[in-house]
Structure 1
Amino acid sequence: MSGNTVQVLSSNWEFKCETDEEWLPVSQVPSNVHTELMRHDLIPDPFKDTNELEVSWVAERTWRYRTNFVTPSEGRGQGARIDLVFEGLDTFAKVMLNGKVILQSDNMFIKHRVNISDLLAHSAKNTLEMTFEPARRRGLELVKAHPEHDFIVHQTEVSRGPARKAQYHWGWDWGPILLTCGPWRPVKLETYVSRLEDIKVNYEIHMGQGVPITLEATIHAHVLGPAAELEVDLLFPDGRAVALKDRNGTPTGASSWQYSSTRLSMEKPQLWWPRGYGPQDLYELRVRSIADDGSTILAEEHQKIGFRRVELIQENDQFGKSFYFRINGVDVFSGGSCWIPADSFLSRIAPQQYRDWMQLLAEGNQNMVRVWGGGIYEPDAFYTACDELGILVWQDFMFACASYPTYPEFLASVSAEARQNLCSLRHHPSIILWCGNNEDYQLIERYNLEYNFESDKDPQSWLKSTFPARYIYEHLLPNIIKDESPSTAYHPSSPWGNGTSTTLKVDATVGDIHQWDLWNGEAKPWQLLPQMGGRFVSEFGMVAYPHVDTIDKFVTDPAERYAGSRTMDFHNKAVMHERRLLTYVGENFRIDWAQGIEAFAHLTQVMQADALGVGYKSWRRDWGREGARRCGGVLVWQLNDCWPVTSWAVVDYYMVKKPAFYAIKRAMAPLAVGVARKFHDWTARPADEIWRRNTGHVDSRKMLTDIEFDVWVASSRVETVRGKVVVRFVSVTTGEDVRERIEEEIQVQPNGCTEVLMGCKFDWDKATVAEPEHFVIHTALWVDGVQVSSDTSWPDPVKYLDFRDRGVTVKHLSQGLVEVSAEKPVKGFVFSEKQRVKLSDNAFELVPGEEPKLVQVEGGSGELAWTFVGR
């Protein structure tokens, strides 16, 4: 027999609740019980209204799936082995074949392979049945069974702590409580004589100044079953091929062989680069096991790989200790987003959706995505898209916001999970960092747990402490990384400060930080973000409503479509959002409740865009220059949603972009000019140095009399660029310039920040108006006669400004092109976006005397609604 066959068992399944008599047809596998119940109209859509509450009973039941299949004819009497492969079972599952238990699983992140060769019926159909027990019940049983552990979890309840299931299924401050179950990834029947169990490529890239880049690689393969030879072909991006053969296999068991190819050396290899820094060159690796006759192919695997050298630079400097990535010898500023699962029901996410999401991220000038530890190890389609688009991946292991246990069975399961997922994903060049967890170390301070990084270096003692999970993050996981992917950087946690800063306190001098004194914590004004950065900001964010088209999808009762309705509040899981959102909006904007939910949604969106735009552009400014990288990256919380909701996402569940998406896009442009004025906090002032109390006695005249501003240009280009910066001062009231413009010819330094104007004081004596008045500072960067970037600074708070009579004109030109202009400065001009409608630009400021904004609209029909602040 040659080759192998794979049959995907996707159809002819049935399901039922264990206590029911009737079996119901399943649409297809992968599956989960909620979507099947919806298909049969047995539960309402949990994403609409408050239906999440109406379906909670589903998670309390035991559910069964079954199917029948015929024994493969090619496996009968030919010495072949037949395996059932379960790529993902969610979560506490018992699997039976022809009435015999063949598998018990308690980890949804593990793939299972079961040899069923001796269990098949050779003359009849085989019955495969799965039983899924309630995850919450089983989790509580495990908590009770292990009193030696103090189970501490944030976000919902303790039962998720010992359950190796996607943690967000228990609900989060942006997601519903929907405890799913079912075969969430494919089930396959595989027949083979020989199989490639594992392929591993170890390589080193040597680079030095004036020396050609060289690559040395070794390809390893683990083969199950008979094989005489390993054949390796490496197909170059330009089409060339190199064939490697090695007949010196080493037996590792009765029917297992370990092969290593001859060492491959290349001079000037084609490297993989992050987007914006070079091409995403990918090689194709083809590995075959060959039979004794020298020609029969017993098994074959293909794998796309990319060669790149990644370094996490953590060096002492004038700011503390750096934290940034150097790729192929080039420092790279990481600007991107945190990623949560794209749906509460994972089985219905199509591979193309992952490509669309990463394409959207790339279109937004982002170059990094962080796969958050409360979700899943994403499918191959996600990482393949990142490889091809040049998106860097920060990959968390699946632990989030808890003090996890370390009893032997749990550690064994975690070890298998980590090793298996690492081996399946390590060939993706986009993955440049594995991180132990999300925010687990923050529990140390909150609950006074034991942790002494400097004096306690004994992993066995950690298991006996009140924070035993340190064993997982600082011993188990890094050792698995060392074994399976030694060239990949590892970071114990996010945030984590090299043992010196691991708790709730933000240390801006070391490691990465989660900056949640915006919204959470002290809930500081977003205008203070420039002073709230760190060496790498791996989380920060601001809540905003989605567009009205999305709101209409999940609020079916028109009477509930108002800000603060029961349904709207239910679709906002953020703690104390009723106070925080209104506070932030009320601090900055006039609220006219009579204008309805559309107007309020718009204000929340503009506020989110303002906050995130300031964070990105100011912390990118801190990228500085070589040798002085004060901030190495910014990742917003979060890119996406798992259901329709009011949240921190910059793109909603239906892939409709919020204004903040465009603010990030502008701040992360290859060449981005920035302007910022001195901030006068109008909400609080310290009364004196003794009492240090905040009072309401604020001198609001300083908005007009004490004006300082900075202008800079950030660049990710690898070459120096000559350009011109133009700064204008335009009256909010009249639309006229209040003083003459400033023009500066500059050389924009590569891969860093070029300061243009610093600490410039505005002198009213040089103004062209008789009395001080509010004005915007508009700055533009011109290169070769083309405006490539602009930025606008408004006086704070904008609620004090008069936005009457703006003279806005929206012209619909040919072929979906729209032109927007204004006679006076306009704040937060936003087209109300819809699903399947794509805009080239949105959510911008309008300044008279500048070129009109041109927006290309694709998809949909009719004119889009639009508004702006104060309309």
Structure 2
Amino acid sequence: MTHPHTIHTISSGWEFKQHHDPDDPDAAPPKIAEWLPVDHLPSEVHTELQRHGKIPDPHVGLNELEVRWVGEQAWIYRTTFPTPPEVTTVSSTAKAELVFKGLDTFATVTLNGEVILRSDNMFVEHRVDVGRLLLSFPAESENNLEIIFEPARRRGLELVAAHPEHDFIVHQTEVSRGPVRKAQCHWGWDWGPIILTCGPWKPAQLEVWTVRVEDVRAEYAVDLSGGREAPTVEVAVSATILGAEAMDFLEVEVWFGGEVVVQFRGYKDDEDKDNDDVNIPAAEETPPWTYTSPKFTIPDPQLWYPRGYGPANLYELRLRAISAPTTDKSAAAVLAETHQTIGFRTVELVQEKDTPAGGQSFYLRINAIPIFSGGSCWIPADTSLATLTPARYRAWIALLAAGNQNMIRVWGGGVYESDEFYAACDELGVLVWQDFMFACASYPTYPEYLASVETEARQNVRRLRSHPSLVIWCGNNEDYQIVERYGLEYRYEEDKDPEGWLGTNWPGRFIYEELLPRVVREEMKGMGGGQVVYHPGSPWGNGTSTTLKVDANVGDIHQWNIWHGEMRPYQQLPQMGGRFVSEFGMEGYPHLDTIDRFLVGGEGSRDRYPGSRTMDFHNKAVGHERRLLTYLGENFRIKYDMKGFAHLTQVMQADAVSWAYRGWRRQWGTQQNDGKVSRGCGGVLVWQLNDCWPTVSWAVVDYYLVKKPAYYAIKRALAPLAVGVVRKFHDWTTRPADELWKRDTGHVDLREAVRDVVFDVWVASARLEPVQGLVVIRFISAETGEDEGQTIEEEVTVLPNGTTEVFSGLRYEGADEKLKHVLDRGYVVIHASLLVGGEEVASDTSWPDPIKYLDFADRGVKVKYLEKDLVEVSAEKPVKGFVFAERQGVTVSNNGFDVMPREKAKQVRITRDDGADMGELAWTFVGQ
């Protein structure tokens, strides 16, 4: 007797408590000895304890310290469930499997008193045949399922001690994380707390089946020889069928736009098939049966494009294993089916020698279009991953996409994200750079560890390979920098013996340059030429440099000589780029509403001031006090009240990312004298998009999805058409002393910034066709608000998918005359606008540095509500860093902008979630 594949979710009826080992005489009495109900699975022990009032909210005040004990203890979860009737039917051929999508991390699972599973890898799914145990247990009884979770830190230290042959080098945290396959940031990071979670962090379910379909892949090739407007797509579908002897045929359908575009049946033999059906080879004598269809073409194929370059077209592949024991088709029964979203596109990582710029290019070409990858790095969105919902994932990706970003990098110290995360990226055209889960360490390679890593890698590559958004698999985050810092053995060209690498003092090379690329190659085999890229690490420079000593001309780089390292002025960022900047960042405070939510007492907290105990505790970056104040002191008149200080850090962060995105995008595609386009910088990814708790960090959007001004700065810099203006930077604080006189920089002529006003103007475009535009440049007195000198207007033909230089090294001629007046009058703000068809589509402003020298009194700012949710902002004099105070549930269409006199007033749309406070938004600007 056959049964359809059914899934019984085991999500309710769970309870948990602290586990006490009766065989350990030294064990302390448990703090949580009683069984407490679990709300539902997925679950994580900290969340459950907080829900029951047993621990305080770890995100508030210093409570992280109060809950550290939780991660040092063992915990037990248990539930009961009935045996499904289809398992106990006498004639049943059904199999019963318990499936655990994810157990965090060291877990022992028992069913009806018998150990059925021991797990030590958070990233691995487990499938256990339990049919025998279910049938041997009394049918009228409930089955008893228990999971004991041991503390990850203790087990990690035991593994370190057990493998003295390996020199564990672990940055950011203690050494115990090195041999543990768990989210590395759970040990704490420079933006997140130490919260060592445990629990069934993904769903658990009982699957009963006679036939099961797995390992489905749509192998495809895209032919663009006829142009992107007329591609051809050839596809072959393969799958593994377990229990295939019980089915009669496999039905394959490809859907697009709600309609079937391809449909056929595959039979196990040559009998009883229609003439239109596609034949498949005969089944093997022993299961599982590997099915491979003949190649077929997609009619009128619609390709998948990244955001900003075309539509993100998606297809759906459906497979059904069908039993049809009679000629009556109405008697057919579906025994198993799978649905898989797919998209057709080509992808190449272009690393070509580039003579004009030196070195090698590093950019993506998708569907034969060079792509500038502008986006963000992603960390886990919560300290408790079990609380993340599909809606929350989608909100994050929608927010990223709305900010003109087209790439997100899933960082290697977190997790392989939920299916909903990648589905949202597919739908919204967001490219995914996916790290394998290794970060900032020298990892071991003993056999059991390598076996676990290979299982983890195969499962996750297989799970995610159909997503067209996922274009890069990357071996690790910053592990190659460990090699450089400690002088570990790495001879890229001379040593090509993978087995020999295991005997060096850096065996991790075996993981990143042999094991992981082999897994990607094998799991992606046949899935289209160049469907995914493998990159050994981030940063990594093709073996010539791992970019600890930054090589801007090879591979990708992490630029941390801003904030970290040399702490160079952020105005120098345009000269600090590379072929692909996959990390850089500047810290900024969140809005006051978020700060008040993590201060004990909220707005009335005694710690509601910059540098308080709680504020310092919620900033995990080493040396943040010195770094924040240094950058603020160099650029702004510092305010020490919470509102003023938070605002200045936000404006500073927005300024820094603006300098980076504008300057590096400018290097994306410039036309050379020979007519060729030089791809100097292929992408920019800010560290970081998001937070895992309410904190002060480099995130451009805080834990509650409230956007900082830096988010809008990126949005403006990555607009489809963006104008840029920048003047020569006069650095008073960090430049070397005069080589002739060896003078202290305190004796420089500060009037130089007024006298020597030299600037560039350019237009960056993501359009795939030329655009006719008009660039208008105004010079506005910072003191009076009056226009100084002649307005410049220049007609331009904007180069498609690249950068058009409008002016380079142009001098403001009114500077010398202005020196006759007070110094403030000599400062001019340069404002550039781009008009297309008479409408302004982009603008940019160049302010004299440092801002702290300017007097922002009497700006004449007016904020007028045109409608309940539409605000108009204008000013009589130049305004720097106008910021609305956003909060959860209340967002604005633009923020952190400058306001110029006699320009069209800024109109800002306010969006409020249901139930959000309808009051007016507070606002401020620099020098208010």
Query: Which interval holds the TM-score relative to the shorter structure?
Result: over 0.9
CA–CA distance in structure 2, aligned partners of residues 699 and 287 of structure 1:
75
CA displacement at 1:769 relative to structure 2: 9.4
Q: For 1:718-755, what per-residue CA distance to the aligned partner results, in whole angstroms no more than 9, with x for missing partners?
A: 11111111000000110001111100111111100011
Does the CA contact (< 8 Å) of 1:321 and 1:535 recur in 2?
Answer: yes
Q: Which residue of 2 aligns with 1:446?
A: 485
Change (3 A) 1:664 1:66: same
Q: Which residue of 1 aligns with 2:294?
A: 262
CA–CA distance in structure 2, aligned partners of residues 691 and 103 of structure 1:
75
Indicate the larger mover: 70-79 or 339-348.
Answer: 70-79
SS at match of 1:611: helix
Which amino acid in the other structure matches residue 108 of structure 1?
M
> Where does the alignment leave 5 or more consecutive residues of structure 1 unmatched?
none
* 1:789 aligns with one of 837, 842, 847: 842
Q: Which residue of 1 aligns with 2:273?
A: none
Does the CA contact (< 8 Å) of 2:755 and 2:815 recur in 1?
Answer: no
Give the 5 Å matches for 1:284-295. 284-291=316-323, 293=325, 295=332
CA displacement at 1:488 relative to structure 2: 1.0
SS at match of 1:560: coil
* 2:210 aligns with one of 189, 193, 196: 193
CA–CA distance in structure 2, aligned partners of residues 817 and 740 of structure 1:
34
1:299 aligns with 2:311: no
1:561 aligns with 2:562: no
Give the 5 Å matches for 1:705-716. 705-716=755-766
CA–CA distance in structure 1, aligned partners of residues 284 and 816 of structure 2:
83
CA–CA distance in structure 1, aligned partners of residues 706 and 541 of structure 2:
36
CA displacement at 1:707 relative to structure 2: 1.0
CA displacement at 1:191 relative to structure 2: 0.7
TM-score using structure 2 length? 0.92
SS at match of 1:317: coil
1:542 aligns with 2:592: no
Q: Which residue of 1 aligns with 2:804?
A: 754
SS at match of 2:393: helix
Does the CA contact (< 8 Å) of 1:727 and 1:777 recur in 2?
Answer: yes
CA–CA distance in structure 1, aligned partners of residues 901 and 282 of structure 2:
75
CA displacement at 1:688 relative to structure 2: 4.8
TM-score using structure 1 length? 0.98
Q: Which residue of 2 aligns with 1:44?
A: 56
1:727 aligns with 2:777: yes
Give the 5 Å matches for 1:590-669. 590-593=637-640, 596-625=641-670, 627-669=677-719
Give the 5 Å matches for 1:286-365. 286-291=318-323, 293=325, 295-318=332-355, 319=357, 320-365=359-404
CA displacement at 1:767 relative to structure 2: 6.7
Q: Which residue of 2 aligns with 1:492?
A: 536
Q: For 1:521-575, what per-residue CA distance to the aligned partner results, in whole angstroms no more than 9, with x for missing partners?
A: 0000000001000000000000011110000000024110000000000000001
CA–CA distance in structure 1, aligned partners of residues 614 and 816 of structure 2:
54
Q: Which residue of 2 aligns with 1:67?
A: 79
Q: For 1:118-138, what per-residue CA distance to the aligned partner results, in whole angstroms no more than 9, with x for missing partners?
A: 001223110000000000000
CA–CA distance in structure 2, aligned partners of residues 180 and 690 of structure 1:
60
Does the CA contact (< 8 Å) of 1:230 and 1:259 recur in 2?
Answer: no
The number of residues matched between the two structures is 869
Q: Which residue of 2 aligns with 1:570?
A: 617
Indicate the larger mover: 478-487 or 666-675.
Answer: 478-487
Give the 5 Å matches for 1:371-520. 371-486=410-525, 487-520=531-564
Does the CA contact (< 8 Å) of 1:10 and 1:30 recur in 2?
Answer: yes
CA displacement at 1:147 relative to structure 2: 0.5
Q: Which residue of 2 aligns with 1:84?
A: 98
Change (3 A) 1:691 1:167: farther
Indicate the larger mover: 202-211 or 142-151.
Answer: 202-211
Does the CA contact (< 8 Å) of 1:84 and 1:115 recur in 2?
Answer: yes
CA–CA distance in structure 2, aligned partners of residues 246 and 308 of structure 1:
26
Indicate the larger mover: 668-677 or 240-249.
Answer: 240-249
1:53 aligns with 2:75: no
CA–CA distance in structure 2, aligned partners of residues 419 and 253 of structure 1:
27
Q: For 1:28-72, what per-residue CA distance to the aligned partner results, in whole angstroms no more than 9, with x for missing partners?
A: 110000000001110000000000000000011100000000000
Indicate the larger mover: 860-869 or 173-182.
Answer: 860-869
Q: Which residue of 2 aligns with 1:7?
A: 8
SS at match of 1:609: helix
Does the CA contact (< 8 Å) of 2:262 and 2:298 recur in 1?
Answer: no
Which amino acid in the other structure matches residue 14 of structure 1?
E
CA displacement at 1:472 relative to structure 2: 0.5
Does the CA contact (< 8 Å) of 1:438 and 1:493 recur in 2?
Answer: yes
CA displacement at 1:478 relative to structure 2: 0.5
SS at match of 2:131: coil
Change (3 A) 1:338 1:691: farther
Q: For 1:425-466, what per-residue CA distance to the aligned partner results, in whole angstroms no more than 9, with x for missing partners?
A: 100000011000000000011111000001000001110111
Does the CA contact (< 8 Å) of 2:757 and 2:815 recur in 1?
Answer: no
Does the CA contact (< 8 Å) of 2:725 and 2:760 recur in 1?
Answer: yes
CA displacement at 1:266 relative to structure 2: 3.6
Indicate the larger mover: 220-229 or 704-713.
Answer: 220-229
> Where does the alignment leave 5 or more consecutive residues of structure 2 unmatched?
21-29, 268-279, 327-331, 526-530, 671-675
1:582 aligns with 2:629: yes
CA–CA distance in structure 2, aligned partners of residues 45 and 688 of structure 1:
55
CA–CA distance in structure 2, aligned partners of residues 445 and 459 of structure 1:
20
CA displacement at 1:252 relative to structure 2: 6.5
Q: Which residue of 2 aligns with 1:743?
A: 793
1:214 aligns with 2:246: no
CA displacement at 1:812 relative to structure 2: 1.2
Indicate the larger mover: 459-468 or 220-229.
Answer: 220-229
CA–CA distance in structure 2, aligned partners of residues 412 and 228 of structure 1:
37
SS at match of 2:259: coil
Does the CA contact (< 8 Å) of 1:537 and 1:633 recur in 2?
Answer: yes
Q: Which residue of 2 aligns with 1:852?
A: 905
1:239 aligns with 2:271: no
Q: For 1:162-212, what per-residue CA distance to the aligned partner results, in whole angstroms no more than 9, with x for missing partners?
A: 000000100000000000000000000111100012101111111126594
* 1:804 aligns with one of 848, 857, 868: 857
CA displacement at 1:214 relative to structure 2: 1.6
CA–CA distance in structure 2, aligned partners of residues 252 and 754 of structure 1:
61
SS at match of 1:534: coil
Q: For 1:686-709, what per-residue CA distance to the aligned partner results, in whole angstroms no more than 9, with x for missing partners?
A: 235599897443321111011100
* 1:521 aligns with one of 565, 570, 581: 565
Q: Which residue of 1 aligns with 2:311?
A: 279
CA displacement at 1:218 relative to structure 2: 1.1
Does the CA contact (< 8 Å) of 2:568 and 2:734 recur in 1?
Answer: no
Q: Which residue of 1 aligns with 2:221?
A: 204
Q: For 1:345-397, what per-residue CA distance to the aligned partner results, in whole angstroms no more than 9, with x for missing partners?
A: 00001110011000000110000000000000001100000000000000101
Percent identity of the aligned residues? 62
Q: For 1:218-245, what per-residue CA distance to the aligned partner results, in whole angstroms no more than 9, with x for missing partners?
A: 1100011133432211113372421133
Does the CA contact (< 8 Å) of 1:545 and 1:646 recur in 2?
Answer: yes
CA–CA distance in structure 1, aligned partners of residues 35 and 12 of structure 2:
15
Give the 5 Å matches for 1:120-139. 120=134, 121=137, 122-139=139-156
SS at match of 1:562: coil
SS at match of 1:197: strand
Q: For 1:657-688, what per-residue CA distance to the aligned partner results, in whole angstroms no more than 9, with x for missing partners?
A: 00000000000000000000000101033235
Change (3 A) 1:440 1:851: same
Change (3 A) 1:55 1:730: same
Which amino acid in the other structure matches residue 140 of structure 1?
L
SS at match of 2:338: strand
Does the CA contact (< 8 Å) of 1:83 and 1:117 recur in 2?
Answer: yes
CA–CA distance in structure 1, aligned partners of residues 828 and 646 of structure 2:
26
Does the CA contact (< 8 Å) of 1:232 and 1:261 recur in 2?
Answer: no
SS at match of 1:57: helix
